[in-house]
C-alpha cells in the first residue's frame, strides 16, 4: 500500500519537515529506493544520508540539519519505524470460514469471523473468540479457550484445558500443555508424576516456532500479558513468567521457577528449578542461573571466547582454583602472624 508522508506522520505521531511525498514501503538506508522510508537511530549512520535513495527519513530532531530529504522527527526513531512498517505492511489474514478437511467437534460453536485451516482438529468443549485464526494441521484439544484476535499458525498443538487470552500469536510447531517432566524414583525404575495442572496464557503473548510450554504438575503454568518468547524456548511445569518479559531463542526455564516482569533474557539462557527472578532483570546470552536473583540489573556468566590453546591452559588452571585459594589463605595468615 502507498500513503502520503504527511498522513503517515499523523498516524505514527511524528512531525514532518520538508515536502510531502508518497511512501510505498520501508527499507534500510543502503537498499532504499524512491518511495521508501528509512530511519536512523544512531549518529554513526548520519553519513549515509548523502548516499541513500530513500524518499524520506525518520530521525531525531538534532539530526535534521544533516538531511536534504524530507524527515519525520521522532524521539525514538526505531519505534516510529516499527509503527510505520506495520502500517505499510498490514497483517495478512485468511478469509473467515472452516476449511474442507477440518474436523470440528459437534458441540463447538465457530463464530462467523473465525478461520480454521485444512486438517485442523478442534475437539469437544473448545471455546473460540471472535476473529481467531487457526492454521492448517493444528490440534486444539478438549476444553481449550482461545480469546479474540488470536492467530495460531499451522501445526500448533494445544493441550486440554489450556486458557489463552486475546491478541496472541503462536508460530508453527508450538506445543502448549504437554506434560511437565516429572518422575519419582522407585527402585530401579521411575514412576511418572501425573501432570494435572493447566497452562494459562494472558493477552498479547507471542510464542515463537517450536517452543514448548509444559502444563503444571499441581499448579498452573502461567504466562502473563505481553510476554514475548522466541523460537526453541522451553518453559517447564508450574513456571510463572511476569508481564512483558522477553526470552530469546534456545533459552529454558526449569519447573516451578517464578520470573518477574519486564525481564530480558538473551539467547541460550538456562534457569534452574524452584528459584525466583525479580523484576527488570537482564540475563545476557548463555547465562546460567542457579540461585534466585532478587535485585534488578544485568547478570552474566559463561566463558568468553578464546583461542583453543589458551582455553585449554585456563581450563586446566580452573581445576586447581580451590587448591590455589587454600594456599592464598595460608599465605595471608602467615603474613599476618
C-alpha 56/C-alpha 58 separation (Å) is 7
Cβ-Cβ contacts under 8 Å for 111 (sequence gap 6 or more): 128, 129, 130, 131, 132
Instruction: From the candidates 94, 160, 224, 237, give the one annotated as an active-site residue.
Output: 237
- C-alpha cell read off for 192: 511418572
Find where cell 540489573 sits. 297
Cβ-Cβ contacts under 8 Å for 66 (sequence gap 6 or more): 46, 49
Question: Secondary structure of 286-334 in the HEC alphabet?
Answer: CCEECCCECCCEEECCCCCCCCHHHHHHHHHHHCCHHHHHHHHHHHHHH
Q: How many residues does the chain have?
A: 337
C-alpha 266/C-alpha 301 separation (Å) is 12
8 Å CB contact between 14 and 73: yes
C-alpha 120/C-alpha 55 separation (Å) is 45
Q: Is 224 tagged catalytic?
A: no
Please measure the distance between the N-terminal and C-terminal CA atoms of the chain and give it in whole angstroms.
82
C-alpha 244/C-alpha 119 separation (Å) is 33
Cβ-Cβ contacts under 8 Å for 13 (sequence gap 6 or more): 74, 80
Active site residues: 237
Amino acid at each position: 500500500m502507498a500513503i502520503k508522508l504527511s498522513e503517515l506522520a499523523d498516524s505514527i505521531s511524528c512531525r514532518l519537515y520538508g515536502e510531502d511525498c508518497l511512501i510505498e514501503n520501508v527499507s534500510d538506508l543502503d537498499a532504499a529506493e524512491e518511495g521508501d522510508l528509512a530511519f536512523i537511530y544512531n549518529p554513526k549512520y548520519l553519513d549515509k544520508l548523502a548516499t541513500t535513495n530513500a524518499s524520506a527519513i525518520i530521525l531525531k530532531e538534532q539530526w535534521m540539519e544533516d538531511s536534504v530529504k524530507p524527515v519525520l522527527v521522532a524521539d525514538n526513531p526505531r519505534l516510529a519505524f516499527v509503527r510505520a512498517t506495520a502500517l505499510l505492511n498490514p497483517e495478512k489474514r485468511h478469509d473467515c470460514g472452516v476449511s474442507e478437511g477440518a474436523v470440528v467437534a459437534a458441540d463447538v460453536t465457530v463464530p462467523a469471523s473465525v478461520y480454521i485451516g485444512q486438517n485442523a482438529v478442534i475437539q469437544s468443549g473448545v471455546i473460540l473468540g471472535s476473529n481467531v485464526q487457526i492454521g492448517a494441521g493444528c490440534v486444539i484439544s478438549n476444553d481449550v479457550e482461545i480469546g479474540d484476535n488470536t492467530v495460531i499458525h499451522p501445526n500448533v498443538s494445544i493441550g486440554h484445558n489450556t486458557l489463552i487470552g486475546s491478541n496472541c500469536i503462536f508460530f508453527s510447531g508450538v506445543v502448549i500443555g504437554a506434560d511437565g517432566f516429572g518422575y519419582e524414583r522407585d527402585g530401579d525404575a521411575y514412576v511418572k508424576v501425573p501432570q494435572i495442572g493447566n497452562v494459562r496464557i494472558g493477552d498479547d503473548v507471542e510464542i515463537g516456532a517450536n517452543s514448548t510450554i509444559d502444563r503444571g504438575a499441581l499448579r498452573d503454568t502461567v504466562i502473563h500479558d505481553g510476554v514475548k518468547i522466541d523460537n526453541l524456548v522451553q518453559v517447564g511445569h508450574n513456571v510463572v513468567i511476569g508481564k512483558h518479559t522477553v526470552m530469546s531463542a534456545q533459552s529454558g526455564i526449569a519447573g516451578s521457577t517464578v520470573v518477574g516482569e519486564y525481564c530480558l533474557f538473551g539467547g541460550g539462557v538456562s534457569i534452574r528449578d524452584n528459584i525466583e527472578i525479580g523484576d527488570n532483570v537482564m540475563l545476557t546470552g548463555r547465562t546460567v542461573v542457579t540461585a534466585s536473583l532478587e535485585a534488578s540489573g544485568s547478570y552474566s556468566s559463561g566463558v568468553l571466547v578464546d583461542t583453543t590453546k589458551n582455553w585449554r591452559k585456563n581450563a586446566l588452571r580452573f581445576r586447581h582454583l580451590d587448591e590455589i585459594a587454600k594456599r592464598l589463605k595460608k599465605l595471608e595468615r602467615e603474613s599476618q602472624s
